[in-house]
Amino acid sequence: MRGYFGFGAEGISKPMNMGNLVRSAHAFGAKFIFTVSAHYSVREGKSDTSKAPNHLPWYDWDNTDEMKLPDKCELVGVELTDDAIDIASFHHPRQAAYILGPEKGSLSPEIMEKCKHIIKIPTKFCLNVQIAGAIVMYDRVKSLGTYSKKPDLPGGSNYE
């Protein structure tokens, strides 16, 4: 798969959620991880058994004005809004940074303004931040990877 992606969260406050999110980002091949306006303790998540910060750059920005993404990297917000693009029909940019909102809130208007795209997962209500992140990362890998077409029949068979 060509290109790269980073993954982060704005206003996240629970170390276990951030630990799970960075572990998933590491597993899916993210090139960097980041936070914006995060609670000071989010790096203490013992759920990151992969020790992602030892293998990936981790950027902590105090606010949106401090954010510095790589050149040509498109910021993609993940938010459950009426005008967001459904992830099932979204074409992921080759160079992207995905950002999720806080556990009990939404992406700030400042972050949403910086986003080139806002996508949503088609659910009835918000998911846990790590689960939402893993779904977005899986969709990115699946849609940009070089996988063969899924079989027509359950169990792996195609019509002959």
Map tokens 């009835």 to a residue.
Answer: 124
- Asked, for residue 139, whether it belongs to a domain, the answer is yes
Whether residue 149 lies inside any domain: the answer is no
Look up the domain containing 124 and give its range. 4-144
| pLDDT the model gives residue 69 | 96
Instruction: Characterise 122 by phi-psi region: left (phi > 0), alpha (psi -120 to 50), beta (else).
Output: beta
Domain count of the fold of the chain: 1
Which CATH number characterizes residue 127's domain?
3.40.1280.10
Whether residue 131 lies inside any domain: the answer is yes
What number of helices (H) and strands (E) belong to the chain?
3, 7
Average pLDDT of adjacent 10-residue blocks, the chain of 160 residues: 90 84 91 88 61 77 94 96 95 97 91 97 90 96 84 71
Q: Confirm whether 153 is domain-assigned.
A: no
In this structure, is residue 84 part of a structural domain?
Answer: yes
**Distance (Å, whole) CA 150 – CA 160:** 14
